[in-house]
């Protein structure tokens, strides 16, 4: 029964995030004059990244009390957006943090998300 709840919950959140994803891409393309080359693999990329993030979130929620989960997920969101090589090259990070990001899925998730949208597929 639990797996059906998890699947239903993940499906609802996937569907809720799709309009925001599309609007963000349209606005970014317009504002930054990006040349997007959308591949059909974008569907697979969004599903893989979403399932990875959902799996990590459910794993945290399964083993940690609810109030700590809320604190931990907000902290992870802040740290992953500010101190991960998503918006800047990994070479700008200290060596120890570069090593940490070799293990964490954050940079890989960003690369998987970008590659079906960009002409620079070989770079990522």
pLDDT in tens, 53-97: 888 888 998 999 999 999 998 998 888 888 888 888 889 989 998
| Residue 5, in any domain of the structure | no
| Residue 1, in any domain of the structure | no
Q: What is the pTM of this model?
A: 0.78
- Quote the domain boundaries for residue 65: 37-117
| Residue 123, in any domain of the structure | no
Residue 121, pLDDT above cutoff 90: no
Question: Within 13 Å, how many C-alpha atoms sit on residue 114's CB side?
Answer: 17
Domain count, the chain: 1
Q: What is the pLDDT of residues 29-51, one digit of tens each?
A: 899 888 888 888 999 999 999 99
- Which pLDDT score is estimated for 1? 58
């Amino acid at each position: 029964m639990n797996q059906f709840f998890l699947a239903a919950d993940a499906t609802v959140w996937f569907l809720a995030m799709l309009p925001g994803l599309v609007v963000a891409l349209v606005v970014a393309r317009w504002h930054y004059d990006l040349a997007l080359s959308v591949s059909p693999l974008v569907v697979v990329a969004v599903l893989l990244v979403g399932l990875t993030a959902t799996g990590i979130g459910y794993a945290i929620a399964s083993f940690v009390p609810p109030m700590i989960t809320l604190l931990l997920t907000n902290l992870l969101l802040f740290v992953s957006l500010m101190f991960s090589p998503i918006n800047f090259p990994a070479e700008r990070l200290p060596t120890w943090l570069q090593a940490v990001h070799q293990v964490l899925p954050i940079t890989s998730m960003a690369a998987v998300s970008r590659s079906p949208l960009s002409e620079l597929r070989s770079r990522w």
